[in-house]
Structures are given as C-alpha cells and as structure tokens.
Amino acid sequence: SAVISQKPSRDICQRGTSLTIQCQVDSQVTMMFWYRQQPGQSLTLIATANQGSEATYESGFVIDKFPISRPNLTFSTLTVSNMSPEDSSIYLCSSKVPDTQYFGPGTRLTVL
C-alpha cells in the first residue's frame, strides 16, 4: 500500500488567485494522478503525472489552468490558476501501486 499526504487540507481563496496543492507519497511511484471531485459528484481525472515527462491532461483540462509538477518519484504539485467559484471542489491526488490506486485525503478548495 501507499500512504499519501496532501497540503493544504483545505483553503478559501479569492477569485483570480492561484493555489498550489502538494502531494507526498511515502514510497517511490511511477504514476501519480490528480482528480477533481465537485460537490456531490464522483471523481473526474484531471491529469496523469509521470516523473521526467510532461503531465498528460484529460479532455476538458489544460496545462495553463492546472499546471502540474513531478520533480521526483514521491512528490507532485497541482496548481489551480486564476480561480473562479466553479473551481470550488475537492482535489485528490493518487498513486498507482501497481494495479491499485491509493488516494490522499484531498484538498477542499472554496473560491469566493
């Protein structure tokens, strides 16, 4: 299994600002994922982050809005840029180890 932590656990932000969410895994993993969970909804995959290469974004998500870093095999960041109230969601990171996914506790973002 993998233990995943995220920072911050929650934040309230102003429209137009940006927030960077950090994700730390307790072991080296090749693949990390970032998901969005809008209120009352299921999970939507934003992007897959592999170490040493650019993130792969799903349809409807772009790098300018959600830049991702993956500097090593245990860490990744997701930035939510130029935020609007529609970005209010829980953002979850996960790692794939090897045929299962483990999730962090999530970052609850509220944009005013």
Partner 1 sequence: GEDVEQSLFLSVREGDSSVINCTYTDSSSTYLYWYKQEPGAGLQLLTYIFSNMDMKQDQRLTVLLNKKDKHLSLRIADTQTGDSAIYFCAEKNNYGQNFVFGPGTRLSVLP
- Which residues make up the interface to partner 1 (CB under 8 A)? 1, 4, 6, 31, 33, 41-43, 45, 48, 92, 94, 96, 99-106, 108
Closest approach of partner 1 to the CB of residue 65, in Å? 19
Cβ pair 30, 98 in contact under 8 A: no
Vertex 63: Cα angle to 60 and 68 (nearest 5): 120
Instruction: In angstroms, give the least distance from the CB of 64 to partner 1.
Output: 22
Of 77 and 94, which has the nearer Cβ to partner 1?
94
Closest CB to partner 1 among 80 and 93?
93
By DSSP bridging, strand 107-111 and strand 43-50 are: unpaired
Is the CB of residue 77 less than 8 Å from the CB of residue 21?
yes
Q: How far is the CB of 86 from partner 1 (least distance, A)?
A: 20
Distance CA 11, CA 58 (A): 25
Instruction: CB nearer to partner 1: give 13 or 31.
Output: 31
54/32 Cα distance (integer angstroms) = 12
Cβ at position 12, least distance to partner 1 in Å: 15
